[in-house]
């Protein structure tokens, strides 16, 4: 008898990653801010919705492919920017880049990536996005954005929710020390960023779609659209910034209502299952992003681990779509979710 497959779900990868990582790196990856109420709420928010499957629609198989800013995606799941990937696996961001390419999706590379942004860009031939933190040294930021453009990154994701570092008590308790990034040499971020900076960022990287990541209110969504953002990522940074801020999925409907289809709205935080992806898309998200699932996959299995995590989510998504009567991503609509009776 062959051994049963060991990795059936994303959570199985978390368990193995915890076995191979040092306690300090595990706490860095897993932890949230404060009492981790927001971190926990990101998961619970998916339980506040139930799926409404529709049958007898002749759906024998589902195709989860989609498209964002002109790039085809094999599935509506992008890899969220997450820092210091070489601490989880020696191949770091380059392994994640190759995995995203193999799975047919996009990796968003963090400003805090440990390798040079050009080397990560060259690790695979597929489109990648660059996540931006604006540094107090604007000359350096401008030069970094020039390098991002010439290295071929296809979009910018400006993370707006880190004008201060969240209170990550797990990191403090284990004495976690962040490593030095080759690209940034760990300069200080500019804590005084504001809406006027959006125009300045655009000028440094003309022609690249600019998404704002960290939006948690309809009001900020409206300001983002008015300021000319090309997309929004509804996110609370995986519960790592302001504890007590809402679950991303809980604010997704108000953001979508305000945006009214003018620009794509993505969401991240707590996505662990194909059914979570269907719920987010049924509410109106264009795509989801995953942070920790990719981190667990990388730690446990390197490039292959990340590919497998994406494959697990893909198979779960296909199964959930088929059982909901959705042959394509476009078939997933608001009729496929309802508030949970006990939610």
Ligand X SMILES: Cc1cc2nc3c(=O)[nH]c(=O)nc-3n(C[C@H](O)[C@H](O)[C@H](O)COP(=O)(O)O)c2cc1C
Residue 93 or 303 having the CB closest to ligand X: 93
Please say which residue, 171 or 325, places its beta carbon nearer to ligand X.
171
Q: From the list 171, 268, 303, 316, which residue makes contact with ligand X (rule: CB under 6 A)? A: 268
Which of these ranges, 184-192, 234-242, 306-314, 317-325, lies near ligand X under the rule CB under 6 A? 234-242
What per-residue string of b and e applies to 283-317 under the rule 16 or more CB within 10 Å gives b?
bbbbbbbbbbbbbbbbbbbbbbbbbbbbbbbbebb
What tokens were used for 287?
């795509």
Which residues are CB-contacts of 283 (< 8 A; sequence separation ≥ 6)?
Answer: 49, 249, 252, 253, 256, 334, 337
Instruction: Point out which span in 142-150, 251-259, 291-299, 304-312 binds ligand X (CB under 6 A).
Output: 291-299
Q: Does position 290 bind ligand X by CB under 6 A?
A: yes
Residue with Cβ nearer ligand X (84 or 325): 84
CA distance linking residue 306 with residue 79, whole number of Å? 10
Separation CA 244–CA 224 (nearest Å): 23
Do 295 and 17 meet the contact criterion of CB atoms below 8 Å apart?
A: yes
For residue 223, the minimal CB distance to ligand X (Å) is 19
Question: Cβ-closest residue to ligand X?
Answer: 291
Helix (H) or strand (E) holding 108: strand 107-109
Quick one: which segment of 13-21, 95-103, 284-292, 330-338 binds ligand X (CB under 6 A)?
284-292
Integer Cα distance of 294 and 110 in angstroms: 13
DSSP letters spanning 113-176? -SS-HHHHHHT-SS-EEEEE--BS-HHHHHHHHHHHHHTT--EEEEE-S-SS----HHHHHHT-
> Does residue 131 interact with ligand X by CB under 6 A?
yes
Residue 9: left if φ>0, alpha if ψ -120 to 50, beta else—which one?
beta
Instruction: Give the residue, chosen from 21, 123, 211, 271, that forms a contact with ligand X under the rule CB under 6 A.
Output: 271
Binding of ligand X at residue 215 (CB under 6 A)?
no
What's the closest the beta carbon of residue 208 comes to ligand X, in angstroms? Answer: 16
- Judged by CB under 6 A, the residue of 270, 284, 305, 325 near ligand X is 270
Instruction: Map residue 107 onto helix, strand or coil.
Output: strand
Compose the 41-70 pattern: x for residues touching ligand X by CB under 6 A, - for all others.
Answer: -x----------------------------
Active-site residue 89, yes or no? no
Nearer to ligand X, 221 or 325 (CB): 221
| Segment near ligand X (CB under 6 A); pick from 59-67, 118-126, 199-207, 237-245 | 237-245
Residues within window 78-97 making contact with ligand X, judged by CB under 6 A: 80-83
Q: How far is the CB of 137 from ligand X (least distance, A)?
A: 18
Q: Which residues are catalytic?
A: 237
Q: Which residues bind to ligand X, rule: CB under 6 A?
A: 28-29, 42, 80-83, 110, 112, 131, 159, 213, 235, 237-238, 240, 268-271, 290-292, 295
């Amino acid at each position: 008898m062959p051994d049963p497959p060991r990795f059936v779900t994303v959570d199985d990868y978390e368990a193995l990653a915890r076995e191979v990582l040092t306690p300090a790196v595990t706490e860095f990856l897993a932890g949230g801010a404060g009492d981790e109420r927001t971190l926990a709420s990101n998961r619970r928010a998916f339980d506040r919705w139930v799926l409404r499957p529709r049958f007898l629609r002749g759906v024998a198989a589902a195709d989860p492919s989609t498209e964002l800013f002109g790039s085809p995606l094999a599935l509506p799941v992008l890899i969220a920017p997450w820092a210091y990937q070489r601490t989880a696996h020696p191949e770091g961001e380059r392994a994640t880049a190759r995995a995203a390419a193999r799975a047919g999706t996009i990796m968003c590379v963090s400003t805090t990536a440990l390798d040079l942004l050009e080397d990560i860009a060259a690790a695979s031939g597929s489109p990648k996005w660059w996540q931006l933190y604006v540094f107090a040294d604007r000359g350096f930021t401008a030069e970094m954005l020039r390098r991002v453009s010439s290295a071929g990154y296809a979009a910018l994701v400006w993370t707006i929710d880190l004008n201060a570092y969240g209170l990550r008590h797990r990191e403090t308790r284990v004495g976690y020390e962040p490593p030095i990034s080759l690209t940034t040499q760990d300069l200080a971020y500019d804590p005084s960023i504001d809406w006027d900076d959006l125009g300045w960022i655009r000028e440094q990287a003309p022609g690249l779609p600019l998404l704002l990541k960290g939006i948690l209110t309809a009001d900020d969504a409206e300001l983002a659209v008015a300021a000319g953002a090309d997309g929004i990522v509804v996110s609370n940074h995986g519960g790592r910034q302001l504890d007590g801020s809402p679950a991303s999925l809980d604010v997704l409907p108000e953001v979508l209502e305000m945006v009214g289809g003018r620009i794509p709205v993505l969401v991240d935080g707590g996505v662990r299952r194909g059914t979570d992806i269907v719920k987010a898309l049924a509410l109106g998200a264009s795509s989801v992003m995953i942070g920790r699932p990719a981190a667990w996959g990388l730690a446990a299995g390197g490039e292959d681990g990340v590919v497998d995590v994406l494959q697990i989510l893909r198979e779960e998504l296909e199964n959930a779509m088929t059982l909901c009567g959705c042959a394509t991503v476009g078939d997933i609509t608001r009729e496929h979710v309802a508030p949970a009776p006990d939610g």
